[in-house]
Amino acid sequence: MERLRVVGGAKLVGTVRVSGAKNSALKLMAATLLAPGQSKITNLPAIADVEYMAELLTRLGCKVDIKRDSNEVLIDVPQKLGHRADYDMVRKMRASINVLGPLIARELVAEVALPGGDAIGSRGLDFHINGLTEMGAEVSSEHGFIIAKAPAGLKGAKITLEFPSVGATENIMTAATLATGTTVIDNAAREPDVVDLGEFLISMGAKISGLGSHTITIEGVSKLTPTTHATLADRIVSGTWAFAAAMTQGDITIENGRADHLELPLDKLVEAGAVVTTTKTGFRVKMDKRPIAVDVATLPYPGFPTDLQPMVITLNAIAEGTSIVTENVFEGRFMFVNELLRLGAKIQVDGHHAAITGIKQLSAAPVAATDIRAGAGLVLAALVSDGVTIIEDAFHIDRGYPDFPAQLQSLGADVSRT
């Protein structure tokens, strides 16, 4: 297993450039299945999950050409697709479930293994299944697979989500593009990644309105055509760098970062004592003192992102004062706290709440990443620890952060792979 060795005490200073969003690029790749022919996705992040999605699409019959020198991928989709996504691929990443909507729309049948991905708690597929069922699909679960069939084709429906699930919104939206009639998704997810996917579908010829609101309307069309699209900048990576600047009392300019997609997290950093300014190409975060503890509750967008919860917990762990962090999205996110306790943090977890008493510095110790964001949070924790921290299972970090050690080194950190 790959490990990261991090020497504490660095003050991160400099400029980093943020590439395309993991949570957008993978969904865009899956959505190319809707249109036979060659689509191009640019501003592609150089992460392991892109390779996994490319392999999955290849197994479904596509020709996939990832061009690392230009950060783009060409996906040639055949007229006739395979319809089975096996467990050995799907277990590697949660985003594999996003082939479900396009496959049922194109082939009227889909067999997708129940997905894996990060260990951050229960993420059932009931909302996905209920939405497709309302559109006329017959959905069952057999031998670890979701099997969806719509021999008479999908039909538009009014679907109300009990929770604004990103994945369910995306699968229903992609399936609805080729359905007969109009589909309305109420209580839809509003994340920028959902908007990016919707704009990608519109460029393919889909008729979609209401992106970024609680109600998305899709008028089905008979066919879609290939397109070229630039992936949205990654707001979670941008937010990670913002918290890294505040935690290490550093000064980081985040090129290609979208401050408007991080309003609440950046407001919290200002509350903690940081100075945040926008630039022509992104934004800058500067901190010249120990952070002040901030209370946070995670919520769907535009609330505080659950993916930045490990970062704000780490910030509070070395901040002045006490704080409460409430997790409202994924109950398993607090698994990260167990590793932070090994570094000397003072945290008490009670259900969905973590009470944190800040200390001036954490203490280096061996820890293990349990998911992508926990891994990044542990790297930041190691940077504000006294000594050398070894982070096991660092492969998780590579799934979401392109060249993370190299970018940290460029900012003055002593980080290396072992």
Numbered residues of the known binding site: 22-23, 94, 307, 329
Across 76-113, b (16+ Cβ under 10 Å) vs e yields bbeeebbbebebebbbbbbbbbbbbbbbbbbbbbbbbb
3-state secondary structure of 51: helix
Looking up tokens 């950190």 gives 413
Binding-site sequence positions for phosphoenolpyruvate: 22-23
Return the structure tokens found at 400.
């979401």
Beta bridge partners of 180: 155
CA 202 to each of CA 104, 159, 191, 199: distance values in angstroms, whole numbers, following the listed order? 19, 20, 17, 5
Per DSSP (E only), the strands in 236-366 are 251-255, 275-278, 282-286, 296-297, 322-326, 346-350, 353-357
Query: What is the spatial distance between Cα 285 and Cα 251, in angstroms, rounded to a whole number?
Result: 6
Measured in degrees and rounded to the nearest 5, phi and psi for residue 115 equal: -80, 165
Contacts of 350 (CB under 8 A, 6+ apart): none
Contact 89, 52 (CB under 8 A): yes
Return the structure tokens found at 230.
């630039």
Beta bridge partners of 396: none
Which helix (H) or strand (E) is 215 found in, with range?
A: strand 215-219
Contact 183, 137 (CB under 8 A): no
The set of catalytic residues is 118
Query: What is the spatial distance between Cα 241 and Cα 256, in angstroms, rounded to a whole number?
Result: 12
